[in-house]
Amino acid sequence: MPTYTLSINRTPHTVEVEADTPLLWVLREHLQLTGTKYGCGMAQCGACTIHVNGNPVRSCIVPISSVKAEQEITTIEGLSESGDHPLQEAWVEAQVPQCGYCQSGQIMQAAALLAKNPQPDREEIIQFMNGNLCRCGTYMRIIKAIEMAAKPLESHGK
């Protein structure tokens, strides 16, 4: 079986798995990074969203063989040091999650948006977040939390 070395959350990890194993299962079941969730297995729901070199990617459809060693993978566990990314703080402030299952993916998707576009308007938020499903229906608060986190930096006190 082939061996792969990945850089995940700035730490190297080596795994021995079949080449077509989806990155999602590698993260969750081989490396115990269980914050990334399985929802559909075909990039329809966004629960498995992670970053590859800062871009949001659905890890359920990425075979591990397509990930290059020099690519930097970030999961929800590595988004911030102690859960204090401005989006995570806004998510708590706006009391976004209900069941919470989709929220890692929502936050990772939103973090990729703010990294590219620090002050998106409502339409840009909706367009960028449209691939992430939430069955509890927390969408109104997701929009609110992203708008809160997207406020000018000085108003954050950081």
With CB under 8 A as the rule, give the number of residues binding other proteins.
60
Residue 27 binds to other proteins (criterion: CB under 8 A) = no
First-to-final CA distance of the chain? 47
Instruction: Determine the interface stretch with other proteins among 41-49, 66-74, 112-120, 147-155 (rule: CB under 8 A).
Output: 41-49
Burial class from Cβ neighbours inside 10 Å (0-12, 13-18, 19+) for residue 98 reads middle
What character string, x for contact with other proteins (CB under 8 A) and - otherwise, covers 111-150? ---------------xx-xxxxxxxxxxxxxxx-------
Spatial CA neighbour of 3 closest among 25, 24, 26, 34: 26
Going by their DSSP bridges, the two strands 3-8 and 11-16 should be labelled as antiparallel
Residue among 29 and 68 whose Cβ is closer to other proteins: 29
What character string, x for contact with other proteins (CB under 8 A) and - otherwise, covers 75-104? xxx-xx--x----x--xx--xxxxxxxxxx
